[in-house]
Each structure stands twice: as structure tokens, then as C-alpha cells.
Amino acid sequence: MEIHGIPIENNFAEAFDMLATRIVITAAEPAWAMRAGEAMTGFATSVIGCGVEAGIERSLDPSETPDSRPGVSVLAFSVNQETLQKQLEKRIGQCVLTCPSTSVFAGLLSNRPMPLGSKVRYFGDGNQISKKIGKHRYWRIPVMDGEFVCQESVYATKAVGGGNFLVLAESIAGALQACDAAVQAIRQVPGCIAPFPGGVARSGSKVGSKYKSLKASTNDAFCPTLQVDSSGEFADSASACLELVIDGLTPESVAQAMRLGILAACKKGKSHGVKKITGGNYGGKLGRHHFYLHKILLG
């Protein structure tokens, strides 16, 4: 299969079951909601070292938020509910509570509640108060610009982490151009994020390492400096490889994001030296979700 003259390898991306939540952050101005979201999702690229994988899903109009203020929706993914909850408490407490004018609300409902406002409320030193509106309770915590409002509970849901594809190109400049286009396309899919910096990872990993202390290490099959002949994963004339990793609330959303991302990368990459698109997997032994590139692209 070729798209715009770029070969699409008959391969699959291997993804994993995760738990996720959506948080809605609002603020007095759109810029402050975005700053809080960016701070909260910092150091959230991979569960291997960060506890969660998180990113800003999209900006929200005041008509879409619980308090009719501008906001952002944030998606956070982790391997289990305990880790997800602890990471949320830390990130909300350190990055959103501290950000001027912000409030926090649950962005989805499920049968997996996680305490949030009921934990963060202790910062109020006994001066915090709560109010129940409908079925949900909210905490009002006094801060120096007024009050920080935080919903008592947020909710976890089953999700998929690790959908991916790799872009091989003649140069890093060309790979970046193609990947930037892919990230813009991925961000149009609701319920998905690309958690790495700018949505792109240069340090794709394999499972395990020669060093016992490491769970993962560099994916040497895709490292250009380690290619000694043309029998490796690199296409002819390729000298750089970048990976796009996608987490989503459903397998369908991950597949759609992969499809649109690959199409955008190929369209942009035709004139920027992209040589091949492939998928990253571990032989199908670790994750039960297998996204076959040809099947996704054929719809």
C-alpha cells in the first residue's frame, strides 16, 4: 500500500488497556485555563516514568463548561485507578489550585468515582465549605484571589493507550514537518491525545534492557546510528525516525486518530522526504489491541 507515493508497511501498532479520566479546567480568561492545563500535563509523557500520560484534549467555549467560563478539557491515562487518582491529586493541587482564577470539574461520568475535591479541600485549613448541586458536591476553598472551586469526585473509564505509528524520513527536518501535520490531524479527534512533547516522540522504546533496573530502553531497530546495513527497519535513504503515540477513550477513537494522522503525514511528507510509515509493536505479546495499518486506512 502507498499513499502519496509513501509506502505503508503491512504492520500493526500494539496498544494496551488503561484507565482514563477527563478533567474540565475553567478560568477567568482562556489563557489562564490553558496555562493551568499545560502545567498539569507537564511531565506526563509515559506511564513508564511519569505515572500518567496526559494532554489537553481541546479548548472549551463558555457555553460548554459547568460555570460558563472559558476552559480546557484534559485527558489523563494510567495503568490503574489508584495511580490515576494519586497523580490527579498531586497535579490538581500543585498545578491548578495554584493557577489564578481556576476551577475544576469532572468531564465524564462513570461507575468508577475518584475523590478529588474531597482531598484537595484540606488546603482550606478548615475554612473550606461544600455545596451539593443536583447529584454532585463541590468544594469551595479560600485562596488569595477568592475561591478555588473543585468538584468532589471525578470519574475513571476504560481506555486504550499506546496506539502509534512511526515516520521514517530522509532528514529530521522532513520527519518533523510530516509529524507536525499528523499531530494537527490527531488533535481533531475527540477523546484522544498525543502525550509526548508536541505530540511526537524521538525516543521510541522496546521492552526490557541489558540493565536490570530499566523496564524499557531505546528501540535500537529504529536508531539510525545503529544501522549497519540495509537489512534493518530503516528504509533506503532514511536517516531519522519519529513516533506518534496516541491514547484514547475508545479503540475506535484511537484508530480514527491513527488514520487521520497517517494520511496527514503522507500528504505533507511527499515533498519532505518521508520514506515509509510503519507501526510499533512488541510481537503482539503485551497489548491486546492490535491496530493494523492497512485495515485502518482502508476504513
CATH code of the domain covering residue 71: 3.30.70.520
Whether the full predicted model's pTM is greater than 0.85, yes or no, is yes
Same domain, 28 and 150: yes
pLDDT at 231: 53
Buried b (16+ CB within 10 A) or exposed e, 59-75: ebeeeebbeebbbbbbb
Question: pLDDT by residue for the chain (299 residues), tens digit each?
Answer: 999 999 999 999 999 999 999 999 999 999 999 999 999 999 999 999 999 999 999 999 999 999 999 999 999 999 999 999 999 999 999 999 999 999 999 999 999 999 999 999 999 999 999 999 999 999 999 999 999 999 999 999 999 999 999 999 999 999 999 999 999 999 999 999 999 999 999 999 998 999 999 989 999 999 998 886 545 677 778 899 999 999 999 999 999 999 999 999 999 998 999 999 999 998 888 899 999 999 999 98
**Please, are residues 44 and 195 in contact by the beta-carbon 8 Å criterion?**
yes
pLDDT at 176: 98
Same domain, 189 and 58: no
pLDDT at 227: 80
pLDDT at 228: 65
Same domain, 146 and 198: no
Same domain, 233 and 151: no
Quote the domain boundaries for residue 283: 2-15+160-298
Please state the domain count of the chain: 2
pLDDT at 229: 57
Same domain, 73 and 190: no
Phi then psi for 4, rounded to 5 degrees? Answer: 55, 35
* Boundary residue ending a domain (139, 157, 175): 157
Same domain, 125 and 58: yes
Q: Which residues pair with 85 in a beta bridge?
A: none
**Please, are residues 106 and 153 in contact by the beta-carbon 8 Å criterion?**
yes
Closest CA to 96 of 110, 115, 117: 117
Same domain, 165 and 149: no
Q: Can you list the alpha helix ranges (DSSP code H) found in 16-57?
A: 30-40, 47-50
Same domain, 7 and 48: no
Same domain, 28 and 137: yes
Phi then psi for 292, rounded to 5 degrees? Answer: -80, 125
pLDDT at 232: 60
Phi then psi for 177, rounded to 5 degrees? Answer: -60, -45
To the nearest 10 degrees (0 to 180), the angle between helices 172-186 and 251-269 is 140
Q: Which residues contact 196 (CB under 8 A, 6 or more apart)?
A: 45, 46, 243, 245
Same domain, 165 and 293: yes
Count Cβ atoms below 10 Å from residue 5 Cβ, excluding itself.
9
**Please, are residues 132 and 73 in contact by the beta-carbon 8 Å criterion?**
no
* Boundary residue ending a domain (96, 125, 157): 157
**Please, are residues 79 and 86 in contact by the beta-carbon 8 Å criterion?**
no
Same domain, 118 and 185: no
* Boundary residue ending a domain (104, 137, 157): 157
Same domain, 112 and 34: yes
C-alpha dihedral sign at 115, 116, 119, 124: negative
